[in-house]
Amino acid sequence: MTDVVIAGIGQTEVGEHWKLSLRELAFDAIQEAVKDSGGLKPQALFVGNMLAPNISNQAHLGALIADYAGLAGIEAMTLEAAGASGGAALRQGYLAIASGMVDVALVIGVEKFTDKIGPDVEAALATTSDSDFEAVQGMTPTAQAALIMRRYMYEYQVPSDGFAGFALTAHANGANNKYAMFQKAIKLETYNKAEMVSEPLNMFDIAPNADGAAALVLTRRELLPTNFAHPLVKISGSASASDTLALHDRKDILYFDTAQLSANKVMKQAGITLDQINFFEYHDMFSIFAALQLEAIGFAIKGQGWKLAADHEIALKGKIPCATMGGLKARGFPGGATGVYQAVEAATQLRGQAGANQIAGAKYGLIQSLGGPASTAISHVFERL
């Protein structure tokens, strides 16, 4: 099959962009990605977004953003899979290019949390869980994660600071990412002193909601201009899997089936094994999610994922570097843009442009985007050619 390559990347700073609207954020990232691609002309636009119909009272983002970016006329639509919306948009872009139906695709993830604040944001986020049987009980995604983490710590006898390594690694890496929301390393004492949000989750176990937009230009290798300016990165695997929305409907709330299913598929497509993966961009919306992803994919056995973080094995020089540009915890959680940020960061690593956080000689990066507690997991393998 023909190679689907990353021709251009772009991102805005992640944070509270009170002055910028959804469409302006999206355009900033699009402009940067198109410029980075050497001016390729997109034929299709796939938007990853999670909450705009609720938070900004704005649906129909495909046409809105295409028009605002001066691209009216092209195919344009939104992909929604909760926190995995960005991964879904990337996969749709990949399928469009791989099929040969589209020559140049623009993938944009955009989220604008700060159009609402406080309880209204919690209510919007709660719509991603089972509305009839979870959200009606006053449940939130944070509480879902706390329920998983409490049971995990009980079953595996994890000490109270057992998950600290995830936040410490993320913040250390975010310190060297100028797009990250938090660019400051933290100490173990800071983690241990942090306020509880939903026991046993403290504020450093939770990624911050933030505004942001990231974009990719995808094309087939043979369509690149001969003077293409960057090292080549291709998408060697793309897969998605689904599970129950509600935790109570799972056979085992301590195992992310979809993380395992989609990761296995992409590794098979790329023809690689676990030990060939140079870094992993996981979806550390909550520290417990990072641990369960590491276990499901096979980097750790069940119940031991937290130890990889505690033993510094996920640091830049560890066995499997994770969240290399800060992850969701330090770069921030810009909702449906998150999966596209992960892709931009992985492409940056594989191009050798990650600065102080560069993984030397990186050839394969695995990225995984989760919706809810892995109710959706979308995985991709990026490869440096």
CB 297 within 8 A of CB 259: yes
Q: Write out the binding residues for other proteins, residues 87-126 only, by CB under 8 A.
A: 118-120, 122-123, 125-126
Q: Closer CB to other proteins, residue 150 or residue 363?
A: 150
Looking up tokens 């939130």, which residue turns up? 140
Binder to other proteins among 2, 72, 154, 271 (CB under 8 A)? 154
Q: How far is the CB of 159 from other proteins (least distance, A)?
A: 17
Residue 142 binds to other proteins (criterion: CB under 8 A): yes
Of 31, 54, 150, 359, which one interacts with other proteins (CB under 8 A)? 150
How long a stretch of residues is the chain? 385
CA-based max dimension of the chain: 58
Q: Which of 151, 302, 307, 351 binds other proteins (CB under 8 A)?
A: 151
Instruction: Report helix, strand and coil shares of the chain as percent, to nearest 5.
Output: 40, 20, 40
The stretch among 17-25, 139-147, 229-237, 297-305 that binds other proteins (CB under 8 A) is 139-147
Query: Under a CB-based contact definition with an 8 Å cutoff, are residues 142 and 201 in contact?
Result: yes
Which residues have CB under 8 Å from 249's CB, separation 6+? 130
Residue 62 CB neighbour total at 10 angstroms: 20
For 349, the 3-state DSSP assignment is: helix
CA-to-CA separations, 291 to 22, 59, 98, 152, in angstroms, rounded: 32, 34, 32, 10
CA 43 distance to own-chain centroid: 25
The site map against other proteins for 211-250 (x = CB under 8 A) is -----------------------------------xxxxx
Only segment of 88-96, 150-158, 269-277, 352-360 that touches other proteins (CB under 8 A) = 150-158
Residue 20's nearest CA partner among 12, 31, 10 is 12
Least Å distance between CB 198 and other proteins? 5
CA atoms within 13 Å, Cβ hemisphere of 357 = 27
| Shortest Å distance, C-beta 130 to other proteins | 8
Per CB under 8 A, 311 contacts other proteins: no
Q: Of 161 and 249, which CB lies nearer to other proteins in the complex structure?
A: 249
- Residue 147 near other proteins by CB under 8 A: yes
Please, what is the minimum distance in Å from the beta carbon of residue 123 to other proteins? Answer: 4
Site track 176-205 with other proteins (rule: CB under 8 A), x = hit: ---------------------xxxxx----
CA 57 to CA 144: how far, in whole Å? 26
Site residues, other proteins (CB under 8 A)? 118-120, 122-123, 125-126, 130, 132-140, 142-143, 146-148, 150-151, 154, 197-201, 246-251, 253
